[in-house]
Chains A and B, each alone.
Chain A
Amino acid sequence: MIERIKTFVARYGALLLTLVIFLSVYFAGGQLYPAMRKPQVFFNLFINDSSLLLVSIGMTMVILSGGGGIDLSVGGMIALVSTASAALLRAGVSPFIVLPLMIVMGVALGALMGWIIQSLKVQPFIATLMGLFFTRGMAYIISLTSVTITNDVYRTFALTPIHIPFISKAYIYPTTLVGPIMLIVAIYLSFFTRFGRTIYAMGNNEQSAMLMGLPVARTKILVYAFSGLCSALGGIVFSMSLLAGYGQFATGMELDAIASVVIGGTSLSGGVGNVIGTLFGVLIHGTIVSILQFNGTLSSWWTRIGVGVLTLIAIGIQSIFSVKTKRS
């Protein structure tokens, strides 16, 4: 029995601790500011961080695939998708053409980066850095100023509240659902498909994954394409919730996403961690932001310092657990 508990802790300890950190930060906020106890505050976390959740899901898969995998282009992709869709809508293109087009663009750009990484043997850091420069630059080329969206379909998506059953005065928006849906898709992909198992195998040891006959090259390109899909969806959600498109949107979001993934217990060397932890990483980020908002007097830079300190704490906890796993 004790042995089983030990293995359980070794396997899920980091995840459990992330959960504990989230709950303690959240309840500490509730103790400090009674207004934070309202259920709506919890749903606001999902509303405000829906695009961060989306890009973090993609980022988790990329980081899990190992080989220094990282996707720096996510923030730029959000800027590009929001600006491009706003410009297309302004030109009178139907949103039912714009939306699929944006998703195709995201997947294509992601796959292109994956192909460059795989076939030209380029470091993911450099290749996706190019993606970041390209997407942000293109967003500015499309429009140097913010473009507002007045399309009715977008407005409906952005402004129709969905009431949560059984909880009074709690609501979310249709766009909020995209993140959790993608989370379920990602959980399914990573735990129940060959694709997911290949990602974990690659992350642990690419060479042995290749020798096992796993389709490493294809999977690597697909992982980056998946991240491109996630950030394109993130861009759509972002532009819907702000009803605008601008090249300066989501500046530095790649860092928040990486920090969320790391706080969620995923190792940057790949193969260790999962998307569920990432969800809590994102929620922790959102909670810090809302505590600062409830405080009102603390300035925005405390968010950054708070995220930095929490990343440090999360890594400290993980390193303790990784030592324990090695011993067992």
Chain B
Amino acid sequence: MKQTTFLKKIRESQLFWPLVAWALILLFNAIVAPGFFKLGIIEDPVYGKRLYGNLVDIFNNGAPLMLVAIGMTLVIATGGVDLSVGAVIAISAAMGAVLINPALGNQLITNDILTRNATNTPLPIIILADLAAGTLCGLWNGLLVSRAKIQPMVATLILMVAGRGIAQLITNGQIMTIYYTPYFWFGNGYILGLPVSIYIVTAVLLLAWLLVRKTAIGLFIESVGINTKSTYYSGINEKNVKLLAYTFCGFCGAIAGLILSSYVHSADGNNNGLNYELDAILSVVMGGTLMTGGRFSLLASVIGAVVIWTFTVTVYSLGVPANALLAAKAVLVLLVILLYSDYSRRLTNRLFERRGSQHDRAN
């Protein structure tokens, strides 16, 4: 009897399905490409001894998506959606690249100055400017949704369309290459052999978790997502709850932009964070948070993002061309849809329940 309730608890946890999906992809790799799990330690000229291997890459490359997924979870939990995160990533990346640009303010712009390993602005200020730009974007979205009462999808669509234009405006339409090496640390650096980005994700996840689970904010967010009106009547300022969720999402997007531009050493208003909003929403849905809002799990969304990146790396390692990845992703979405549909839920429930009852009888 005890065992069945334990099983039920596991099955009803939001972490169950994303973990199952991840396990399935890893199992597939274990069969098809055993080399997938190989981990090694190499001596890095800059960062000393570090781990390398596919699994490390998944977490390192997937860090921006995980960050965005954390912010997106809170927004979706309030019953909204933030389509602008990709554009926020581009804005934050453009901001960083422009502030670093050593040619800024120089009268004579030569290739020599442009490619110099130097910065125009101190690094802490660059980081602050990045974060401020993204948070401002989030604040804008939040104000449109909570104060102007525009539907979330439309309100964030405005910044999604205009944001990439703004990012290109910042960089003057150019793809800016970054040559300032300390900036690369966020996307390529290592602490104790593990990528810096993993630590950043952990820190943000911890911050968000403390925010929503150790204060009442998490409860407020869920309550807004389930019924905004009744939340208002129970004396909670539902506007500020929404504002906070969108602002936090912008903040997460800004960090993601920082890591992404640092990883690829450049800022491109057109392509930085392209389709990240779609992947982030997919991660959140995979994590079992409903798009209508309500109950949410931050960790499940992060695992959802990990699943997407594991899938991406797997498909690449099978030799599928990058562009055809989209078709494979469509299959992934289809599987998620089928896995999460009421029909399959009922099926698994019945399966488990029957086994449980037999177990009881045997006892």
A307 interface residue per 8 A CB criterion: yes
| Inter-chain contact A304/B330, CB cutoff 8 Å | no
| Inter-chain contact A120/B324, CB cutoff 8 Å | no
| Inter-chain contact B337/A120, CB cutoff 8 Å | yes
Contact of B285 among A121, A126, A307 (CB under 8 A): A126
Q: How far is the CB of A93 from chain B (nearest CB, A)?
A: 22
Name B169's closest neighbour in chain A (CB-CB).
Answer: A301
Name A126's closest neighbour in chain B (CB-CB).
Answer: B285
Measured in the bound complex, the distance between the Cα atoms of B225 and A73 in whole Å is 27
With A121-B342, A129-B282, A308-B165 as known contacts, state yes or no: A141 contacts B324, CB within 8 Å. Answer: yes
Give A97-132 as 1s and 0s: 1 = Cβ < 8 Å from B's Cβ atoms: 000000000000000000010001111011101111
Give B342-363 as 1s and 0s: 1 = Cβ < 8 Å from A's Cβ atoms: 1100000000000000000000
Q: How far is the CB of B167 from chain A (nearest CB, A)?
A: 8
Give B156-174 as 1s and 0s: 1 = Cβ < 8 Å from A's Cβ atoms: 0111111111101100010
**Chain B residues whose C-beta falls within 8 Å of the C-beta of A140 in the assembled complex:** 321, 323-324, 326-327
| Inter-chain contact B282/A269, CB cutoff 8 Å | no
For this complex, into which size category does the number of interface residues on chain A fall?
35 or more
| Inter-chain contact B330/A133, CB cutoff 8 Å | yes
Measured in the bound complex, the distance between the Cα atoms of B159 and A267 in whole Å is 18
Q: Interface-forming stretch among B19-27, B59-67, B144-152, B255-263?
A: B144-152
**Chain B residues whose C-beta falls within 8 Å of the C-beta of A304 in the assembled complex:** 161-162, 164-165, 168
| Inter-chain contact B324/A137, CB cutoff 8 Å | yes
B residues 148-197 touching A (CB-CB < 8 Å): 148-151, 153-155, 157-166, 168-169, 173
B341 interface residue per 8 A CB criterion: yes
A91 interface residue per 8 A CB criterion: no
With A122-B341, A130-B333, A137-B328 as known contacts, state yes or no: A309 contacts B154, CB within 8 Å. Answer: no
Q: How far is the CB of A23 from chain B (nearest CB, A)?
A: 23
Measured in the bound complex, the distance between the Cα atoms of B321 and A123 in whole Å is 29
| Inter-chain contact A123/B162, CB cutoff 8 Å | no
**Chain B residues whose C-beta falls within 8 Å of the C-beta of A321 in the assembled complex:** none
With A121-B342, A130-B337, A144-B321 as known contacts, state yes or no: A259 contacts B157, CB within 8 Å. Answer: yes
Measured in the bound complex, the distance between the Cα atoms of B171 and A299 in whole Å is 12
| Inter-chain contact A125/B281, CB cutoff 8 Å | yes
Give A293-306 as 1s and 0s: 1 = Cβ < 8 Å from B's Cβ atoms: 00000011111110
**Chain B residues whose C-beta falls within 8 Å of the C-beta of A129 in the assembled complex:** 278, 281-282, 333
Contact of B337 among A72, A122, A303 (CB under 8 A): A122
| Inter-chain contact A312/B158, CB cutoff 8 Å | yes
| Inter-chain contact A268/B330, CB cutoff 8 Å | no
B33 interface residue per 8 A CB criterion: no
| Inter-chain contact B282/A138, CB cutoff 8 Å | no
| Inter-chain contact A308/B162, CB cutoff 8 Å | yes
B338 interface residue per 8 A CB criterion: yes
**Chain B residues whose C-beta falls within 8 Å of the C-beta of A311 in the assembled complex:** 154, 157-158, 161
**Chain A residues whose C-beta falls within 8 Å of the C-beta of B56 in the assembled complex:** none
| Inter-chain contact A141/B291, CB cutoff 8 Å | no
Q: How far is the CB of A171 from chain B (nearest CB, A)?
A: 32
Q: How far is the CB of B333 from chain A (nearest CB, A)?
A: 4
Among A136, A255, A303, A308, find the residue whose CB has the most chain B CB atoms closer than 10 A.
A308
| Inter-chain contact A255/B160, CB cutoff 8 Å | yes
Measured in the bound complex, the distance between the Cα atoms of B248 and A206 in whole Å is 34
Name A311's closest neighbour in chain B (CB-CB).
Answer: B158
Q: How far is the CB of B247 from chain A (nearest CB, A)?
A: 19
| Inter-chain contact A262/B337, CB cutoff 8 Å | no
B134 interface residue per 8 A CB criterion: no
Give A173-186 as 1s and 0s: 1 = Cβ < 8 Å from B's Cβ atoms: 00000000000000
B329 interface residue per 8 A CB criterion: yes
Among B163, B168, B333, B334, find the residue whose CB has the most chain A CB atoms closer than 10 A.
B333
| Inter-chain contact B150/A305, CB cutoff 8 Å | no
Q: How far is the CB of A267 from chain B (nearest CB, A)?
A: 8
| Inter-chain contact B161/A308, CB cutoff 8 Å | yes
Name A116's closest neighbour in chain B (CB-CB).
Answer: B337
**Chain A residues whose C-beta falls within 8 Å of the C-beta of B161 in the assembled complex:** 255-256, 259, 304, 307-308, 311
B250 interface residue per 8 A CB criterion: no
B325 interface residue per 8 A CB criterion: yes
A residues 142-186 touching B (CB-CB < 8 Å): 144
A residues 42-87 touching B (CB-CB < 8 Å): 68, 70, 72
A319 interface residue per 8 A CB criterion: yes
Measured in the bound complex, the distance between the Cα atoms of B329 and A215 in whole Å is 33
Q: How far is the CB of B267 from chain A (nearest CB, A)?
A: 14
Sample 26 A-B pairs with CB under 8 A, ordered by A number. A116-B337, A120-B337, A120-B342, A125-B81, A126-B333, A129-B282, A130-B330, A130-B333, A130-B337, A136-B327, A137-B323, A140-B321, A140-B326, A144-B321, A255-B157, A262-B154, A267-B151, A268-B151, A299-B173, A301-B165, A301-B169, A301-B269, A304-B161, A309-B162, A315-B150, A319-B148
Given A137-B324, A307-B162: 13 more A-B contacts, CB < 8 Å: A126-B336, A133-B333, A137-B326, A137-B330, A144-B321, A247-B323, A300-B168, A301-B168, A305-B166, A308-B165, A311-B154, A319-B148, A319-B149
Residues of A near any B CB (own CB < 8 A) = 68, 70, 72, 116, 120-123, 125-127, 129-134, 136-138, 140-141, 144, 247, 255-256, 258-259, 262, 267-269, 299-305, 307-309, 311-312, 315-316, 319
Q: Which 8 A-B pairs have the closest CB atoms?
A: A137-B327, A308-B162, A304-B165, A137-B326, A134-B330, A140-B323, A301-B168, A133-B330
